[in-house]
């Protein structure tokens, strides 16, 4: 039996899972604060735009979105199987296409800033 | 081997869509997996925010305003709870993938787990500071 | 000190019975068994077979958590019957054969699938450097021993397979114990057989079928922590994959 190619995705799942676990709660807390009227200073247009315009900001935003997209897409694929959706090949294709499109979109939007 | 034994093994099928109701630990696992739905949708929201940011100040402001709708706030509260659940389950099992050996002895799982919690708290406080919350 | 330590207790056993010669499907049969509170479930079954119903079939051997024969579902949880103490259970106990395995008869399951998988992963030392006995023994430091010792505690009782939902859903999955044992030899300093084992376990029906439910480690009676072994195999296989595909010049 041939060795699996799943490590490609699992690498992003492990790295993404680690990053998401460490920072996702505080990121959600930030937008939740903004949504309830306590807008954090970083969400000022000038400030956030300046952050996203710098190379470090671009890199940070790309890494967070890329790893989050791929790790969650992979886990969603498994979740679909666990709920009884046995068309794993199709589910995997859809999930990974979505993650790839999201990754490309991230690069495009970052390039425009 | 002489006379054949009458073998007729009985196979109990696992119900493919409802198996996780059989044990509480399966339910806990499924909750962990379902966090990906909320975190995935939230990631898409962040991506939309990035798009709005690239479009200009007015578009960015409309994104912030859209965050305030009751539906959005409800979703974010749920997403926060699921994200926390994901984080805790991740930290608790991280030692399994990361065996540490200090000298002769293997380090107890708690070393890596507690390390994760410490980094998580420090990083969260740092990001809150950086974002100007304090 | 306590009067009820050896107290008699009437236990209702609900045992799943299946006779391949007469039954279309398994059905529960109830027995009222006079027990002692200090007994384990296996003692209750032995009393039942000796005194109430000699036709009941189940496997057991050592009665001391070493042989791994008496695994069964006890109140829905995979357990060794010799490790399940009556004092920890209510007066009614439901006993079924291990989940995810075909029932041969009563509480006896068909273990052929597990045995075949165990053979596939070559759970024995394949020496890295071949030597003849006159060249001396293969030496190992205590630190090297401790890296794999935990995974060497497996007694092949198959409780982890009965707990693993992914094995239930995908019976081709090589499963927790076999992959843990492969890992046990892979990280043994005397072993050189990892490449051969990876051909079996770094596959879609090997470690990549695992979704890290973690149930295997929760039910393991010997604290082997198969879930840890499998995550370590995944991590190592991922490093392998990236090395093989992006840095093939690193390896000779």
Task: Yes or no: say if A33 and B73 are a contact pair by the CB < 8 Å rule.
Answer: no
DSSP string covering C6-69, please?
T-EEEEEEEEEE--TTT-SS-EEEEEEEEEETT-BHHHHHHHIIIII-TT-------SSSSS--
- For C86-121, the pLDDT digits (tens) are 999 999 999 999 999 999 999 999 999 999 999 999
* pLDDT of C1 above 50: no
B neighbour chains, 3+ CB pairs within 8 Å: A, C
**Phi and psi at residue C110, to the nearest 5°:** -90, 115
* pLDDT of B1 above 80: no
pLDDT of residue C3: 54
In chain A, which residues have their Cβ closer than 8 Å to the Cβ of B73? Answer: 32, 35-36
Where are chain A's structural domains? 10-112
- Cβ contact (<8 Å) for A7 and C203? no
Where do the domains of chain C lie, and which CATH numbers do they carry?
8-109 (3.10.20.30), 112-246 (1.10.1060.10)
- Cβ contact (<8 Å) for B16 and C169? yes
CATH number listed for the domain at residues A10-112: 1.20.1300.10
In chain A, which residues have their Cβ closer than 8 Å to the Cβ of B127? Answer: 23, 26-27, 30
In chain C, which residues have their Cβ closer than 8 Å to the Cβ of A14? Answer: 234-235, 238
Tell me what the mean pLDDT of segment B40-56 comes to.
98
Contacts of B123 (CB under 8 A, 6+ apart): A22, A23, A26
Best A2, A6, A89 member to test C by mutation, with max C CBs in 10 Å, is: A6
The rounded radius of gyration (Å) of the Cα atoms in chain C is 22
CA C243 to chain CA centroid, Å, is 33
Q: For chain C, say whether B14 makes contact (Cβ under 8 Å).
A: yes
* pLDDT of B2 above 70: no
Where do the domains of chain B lie, and which CATH numbers do they carry?
15-90 (1.20.1300.10), 98-134 (no CATH)
Cα–Cα–Cα angle for C240, C229, A91, nearest 5°? 65
- Cβ contact (<8 Å) for A25 and B80? yes
- For A28-76, the pLDDT digits (tens) are 999 999 999 999 999 999 999 999 999 999 999 999 999 999 999 999 9
CA distances from A88 to A3, A81, A83, A96, C194 (A): 18, 6, 11, 12, 29
pLDDT of residue C250: 64
- Cβ contact (<8 Å) for C103 and B7? no
Q: Which of C208, C179, C210 is nearest to C194 (CA)?
A: C179
Band of residue A1 on the pLDDT scale cut at 50, 70, 90: confident
- Cβ contact (<8 Å) for C104 and B103? no
Q: For chain B, say whether C132 makes contact (Cβ under 8 Å).
A: no
Q: How many CB atoms lie within 10 A of CB A32?
A: 18
- Cβ contact (<8 Å) for B72 and A36? no
Band of residue B3 on the pLDDT scale cut at 50, 70, 90: low
Helical H segments across A1-113, by residue range: 7-35, 45-53, 55-82, 88-112
């Amino acid at each position: 039996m041939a060795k699996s190619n799943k490590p490609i995705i699992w690498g992003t799942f492990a790295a993404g899972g680690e990053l998401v676990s460490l920072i996702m709660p505080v990121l959600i807390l930030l937008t939740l604060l903004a949504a309830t009227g306590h807008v954090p200073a970083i969400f000022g247009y000038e400030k956030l735009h300046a952050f996203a315009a710098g190379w470090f900001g671009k890199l940070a935003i790309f890494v967070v979105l890329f790893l989050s997209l791929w790790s969650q897409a992979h886990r969603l694929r498994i979740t679909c199987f666990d709920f009884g959706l046995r068309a794993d090949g199709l589910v995997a294709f859809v999930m990974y296409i979505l993650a790839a499109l999201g990754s490309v979109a991230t690069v495009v939007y970052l390039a425009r800033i | 081997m002489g006379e054949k034994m009458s073998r007729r093994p009985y196979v109990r099928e696992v119900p493919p869509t409802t198996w996780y109701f059989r044990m509480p630990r399966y339910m806990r696992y499924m909750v962990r997996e379902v966090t990906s739905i909320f975190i995935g949708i939230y990631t898409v929201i962040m991506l939309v925010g990035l798009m709005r940011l690239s479009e200009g100040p007015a578009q960015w402001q409309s994104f912030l305003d859209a965050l305030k709708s009751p539906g959005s706030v409800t979703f974010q509260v749920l997403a926060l709870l699921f994200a926390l659940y994901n984080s805790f389950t991740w930290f608790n099992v991280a030692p399994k993938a990361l065996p540490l050996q200090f000298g002769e002895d293997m380090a107890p799982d708690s070393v890596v787990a507690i390390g994760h919690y410490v980094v998580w708290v420090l990083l969260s406080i740092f990001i809150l500071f950086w974002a100007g919350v304090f | 000190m306590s009067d009820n330590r050896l107290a008699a207790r009437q236990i209702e056993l609900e045992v799943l019975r299946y006779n391949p010669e007469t039954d279309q499907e398994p059905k529960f049969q109830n027995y009222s068994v006079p027990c002692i509170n200090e007994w384990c479930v296996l003692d209750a079954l032995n009393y039942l077979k000796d005194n109430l119903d000699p036709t009941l079939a189940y496997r057991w051997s050592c009665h001391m958590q070493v042989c791994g024969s008496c695994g069964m579902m006890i109140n829905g949880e995979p357990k060794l019957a010799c490790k399940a103490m009556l004092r920890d259970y209510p007066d009614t106990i439901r006993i079924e054969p291990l989940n995810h395995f075909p029932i041969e008869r009563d509480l006896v399951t068909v273990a052929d699938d597990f045995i075949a998988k165990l053979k596939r992963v070559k759970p024995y030392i394949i020496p890295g450097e071949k030597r003849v006995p006159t060249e001396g023994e293969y030496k190992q430091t205590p630190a090297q021993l401790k890296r794999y010792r935990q995974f060497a505690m497996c007694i092949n009782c198959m409780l982890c397979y009965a707990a693993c939902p992914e094995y239930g859903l995908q019976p081709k999955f090589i499963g927790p114990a076999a992959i843990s044992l492969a890992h046990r030899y892979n990280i043994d300093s005397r072993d050189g057989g990892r490449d051969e084992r990876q051909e079996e376990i770094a596959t879609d029906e090997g470690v990549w079928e695992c979704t890290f439910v973690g149930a295997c480690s929760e039910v393991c009676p010997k604290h082997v922590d198969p879930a840890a072994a499998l995550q370590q195999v995944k991590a190592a296989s991922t490093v392998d994959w990236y090395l093989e595909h992006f840095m093939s010049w690193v390896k000779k």
